[in-house]
Amino acid sequence: MQKLINQLIVFAIFCLTANLASAQDEPSMLDALGDEQTTEYATNAFKSPRVINGHSMEMLHPGTMDFRILHRFGDVSRGYYEFFGLDQASMRMGFDFGLTKNLMVGIGRSTSKKELDAFAKYRLLWQSTGKRNMPISLVLVAGATMNGLKDPVGNAEVPATFARRMGYYYEAIIGRKFSERFTLQLTPTLVHRNIVQNELVPNDLWAVGFGGRYKVTQRMALVWDYGYVINRFPANLSHNPLSLGVDIETGGHVFQLHFSNAVGMNERAYLSDDNSNWRKGEIRFGFNLSRIFQIKKNV
């Protein structure tokens, strides 16, 4: 009996060895499947890290700098004497830097309230298909602003301390590129101001932003953004910011023409300051110019 068991063990070892040897000569199941599945990330959801006023879900590439000029004229409704608003203008000039594929920072200065601003932007989730399937992109933004006016409070009796000049904003950009032509995003936002006009005006403003892009041709797209402020006071004396524009790609530039009812060009400004009324023709023509520079070679 023991001899029979030993013979069976030897036979099993022989069969196993033969199978392993033949398996080395035959293609494996992984080879039959072809190349390993890769992850395809959504790119060019927007052609710029900003839609018009607000941040977009798009990020700068590592080692690049975006030199950006935002220019906005006066209300078109002022008529010919003011050359339909072209006699007045406000602007913001900014420098944004891509540090990693998921992190960028920026600084800027606006003529409105002589305001300085800075922000950091981090991509937590990146829309993708393939090996990793992620239906949306999620980008977090935190920024700070400083009012540069001699009397930022509007009351000469209140000292204009550094803290009173400061404002902050925090937002989460939830976006999806639905196709090569169409992108939408939703942006819950909190704006905090260290000092306000009176006790009835809230220091914290809650808002929801909506932005989108529709690609018309290879080098032209329609863009829009809108911010709905939930707890503005008094609600009937100002209007939510609405901007409509056209992006035009020209080589290394992205040139944008737009109409907006907002004067300010950072989150604190266009969400908390007084905006014009679209229904009364109080619309401002403007343009944004973006130029990308490669300041560090990608490794």
Whether the pLDDT of residue 17 is over 50: the answer is no
Cα torsion 17, 23, 29, 30 to 10°: value is: 100
12-26, 71-85, 148-162: the lowest-pLDDT one: 12-26
Domain coordinates in residue numbering, the chain:
2-32, 44-294
Peptide linkage before 49 cis (omega within 30 of 0): no
Q: What is the pLDDT of residue 160?
A: 80
Beta carbons within 10 angstroms of residue 282's beta carbon: 17
pLDDT category of residue 56 using cuts at 50, 70 and 90:
very high
Q: What is the pLDDT of residue 32?
A: 47
CA 272 – CA 238 distance, rounded (Å): 9
Whether the pLDDT of residue 61 is over 90: the answer is yes
pLDDT category of residue 235 using cuts at 50, 70 and 90:
low
pLDDT category of residue 237 using cuts at 50, 70 and 90:
low
**Residue 95 buriedness (CB in 10 A; 0-12 / 13-18 / 19+):** middle
Eight-state DSSP code of residue 298: -
| Strands, E assignment, the chain | 39-41, 64-75, 89-100, 103-110, 115-125, 128-130, 137-146, 166-177, 182-193, 204-217, 220-229, 242-250, 253-260, 284-294
Whether the pLDDT of residue 298 is over 50: the answer is yes
Report whether 71 contacts 86 (CB < 8 A).
Answer: no
12-21, 32-41, 52-61, 275-284: the lowest-pLDDT one: 12-21
Terminal alpha carbon distance of the chain: 69
CA 262 – CA 140 distance, rounded (Å): 23
What is the pTM for the complete model shown?
0.82
Report whether 270 contacts 227 (CB < 8 A).
Answer: yes
Whether the pLDDT of residue 24 is over 50: the answer is no
According to DSSP H, which parts of the chain are helical? 2-25, 29-33, 162-165, 267-272
Q: What is the pLDDT of residue 87?
A: 75
Q: What is the pLDDT of residue 15?
A: 44
List pLDDT tens digits, range 107-120.
Answer: 999 998 999 999 99
Q: Which CATH class is domain 44-294?
A: mainly beta
List pLDDT tens digits, range 178-191.
Answer: 999 999 999 999 99
Residue 252 Cα distances to 1, 95, 134, angstroms = 85, 16, 30
90-94, 104-108, 188-192: the lowest-pLDDT one: 90-94
Mean pLDDT of 287-299: 83
Q: Which of 241, 206, 247 is nearest to 48 (CA)?
A: 247
CA count, 13 A, side-chain hemisphere, 29: 0
Whether the pLDDT of residue 84 is over 90: the answer is no
Mean pLDDT of 187-208: 90
Report whether 85 contacts 72 (CB < 8 A).
Answer: no
Q: What is the pLDDT of residue 66?
A: 94
Whether the pLDDT of residue 210 is over 60: the answer is yes
Report whether 71 contacts 243 (CB < 8 A).
Answer: no
Between these two residues, 24 and 265, which has the higher pLDDT value?
265
Length reported for the chain: 299
List pLDDT tens digits, range 240-261.
Answer: 999 999 999 887 678 999 999 9
